[in-house]
């Protein structure tokens, strides 16, 4: 009996530890700030669209923090694979305005993960006590900044081999949408930006605030639970990408009307998806710069007479699900799977083989 009770206590403690591991550590105010300062940094030449825009949109609309859109240099940020925006400040300007540093620094995937200016800024912010968050392959930047030594971390499934080779002393975790180790947080693929952002809202302002936002964005679960091992491209995925890319006569350009107060989170997810088909390009359309619901200043692309991007109108996750369905109708199921794998996404609401397995070798 005594042995059974000890086993039961151990089991309960294990479950309690797992439950505690589901949430990020609560925010503790510093420097007398009423709200934390969160900086999301971009590289002007090319920064992943969803990685950058979703945390900015979610955290700004939460009202829980002072959230700033930064870039390594003056001027617009070209987002990848689509759209442009004007950041609020450069890294140098931010350092002058906030000499004590940020409370959280969010680093998306960027074109050059060895950019010395970006690495120096990240190292300086970490030294000042900021929590550094690498979204998707922003983890590569954190690795090059020397922040992953001996730490538990994760990243996009596609970069797994590179991560193992380049940062062998990190402890790489699978099947996690985000992993927190001290003041370093990393996430899995592109769409993990949304649950990670909600987890940050919960850490700063509580679960009720995060739950309200989650309902607005159509998110049912923002825990770190994730089956990353279901994702791959496989031979069929690469063949689909090559076939779509080489069929130049079937390529399309879509226009996204940028209207004041639009939902930048939904736009980021849908534009990102369409622009990853290897058959379609997405361009922002407006007469001048336009401010989104979260106050991000988006810039129009070169004008042109293009059809409007299909499937817009819903919010965040419902919009992404509708977009993937529209891609399947327009370009075929293989292209939908190709896009979903790149985004590391499968809808929890789907049923059948697509929900059970998002593997390009086993569709």
Partners of residue 80 on adjacent β-strands = 48
Prediction pTM value: 0.89
The whole-angstrom separation of Cα 20 and Cα 91 is: 34
Report the chain (363 residues): mean pLDDT per 10 consecutive residues.
39 36 86 95 97 98 96 97 96 97 98 96 98 97 97 94 95 95 96 96 96 95 88 88 91 93 95 96 94 96 86 84 94 95 76 34 27
How many angstroms separate the Cα of 71 from the Cα of each of 56, 74, 83? 13, 7, 15
- pLDDT of amino acid 21: 52
Only one residue has tokens 């409007």, namely: 308
- pLDDT of amino acid 348: 54
Structure token pair of residue 180 = 């927190």
- pLDDT of amino acid 248: 87
Buried b (16+ CB within 10 A) or exposed e, 55-93: bbbbbbbbebbbbbbbbbeeebbbbbbbbbbbbbbbbee
- Report which DSSP code applies to 307: P
Best CA proximity match to 308, nearest among 342, 263, 270, 269: 270
The whole-angstrom separation of Cα 103 and Cα 145 is: 18
């Amino acid at each position: 009996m005594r042995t059974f009770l000890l086993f039961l206590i151990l089991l309960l403690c294990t479950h309690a530890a797992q439950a505690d591991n589901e949430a990020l550590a609560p925010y503790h105010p510093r420097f007398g700030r009423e709200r934390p300062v969160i900086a999301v940094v971009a590289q002007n030449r090319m920064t992943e669209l969803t990685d950058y825009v979703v945390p900015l949109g979610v955290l700004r609309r939460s009202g829980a923090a002072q959230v700033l859109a930064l870039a390594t240099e003056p001027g617009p940020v070209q987002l990848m694979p689509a759209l442009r925006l004007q950041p609020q400040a450069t890294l140098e300007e931010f350092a002058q305005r906030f000499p004590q540093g940020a409370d959280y620094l969010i680093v998306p995937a960027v074109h050059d993960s060895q950019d010395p200016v970006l690495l120096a800024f990240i190292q300086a912010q970490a030294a000042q006590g900021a929590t550094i968050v690498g979204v998707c392959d922003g983890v590569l930047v954190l690795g090059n900044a020397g922040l992953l030594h001996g730490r538990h971390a994760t990243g996009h499934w596609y970069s797994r081999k590179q991560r193992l080779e380049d940062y062998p002393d990190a402890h790489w975790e699978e099947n996690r949408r985000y992993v927190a180790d001290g003041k370093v947080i990393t996430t899995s693929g592109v769409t993990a930006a949304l649950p990670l952002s909600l987890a940050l809202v919960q850490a700063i302002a509580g679960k009720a605030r995060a739950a309200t936002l989650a309902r607005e964005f159509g998110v049912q679960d923002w825990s770190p639970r994730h089956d990353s091992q279901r994702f791959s491209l496989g031979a069929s995925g690469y063949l689909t990408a090559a076939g779509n890319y080489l069929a130049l006569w079937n390529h399309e350009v879509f226009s996204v009307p940028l209207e004041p107060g639009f939902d930048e989170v939904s736009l980021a997810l849908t534009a990102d998806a369409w622009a990853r088909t290897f058959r379609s390009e997405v361009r922002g359309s407006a007469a001048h710069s336009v401010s989104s619901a979260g106050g991000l200043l988006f810039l129009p692309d070169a004008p042109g007479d293009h059809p409007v991007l299909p499937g817009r109108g819903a919010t965040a996750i419902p919009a992404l699900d509708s977009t993937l369905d529209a891609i399947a109708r327009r370009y075929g199921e293989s292209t939908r799977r190709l896009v979903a794998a790149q985004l590391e996404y499968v809808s929890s609401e789907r049923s059948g083989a697509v929900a059970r397995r998002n593997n390009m070798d086993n569709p």
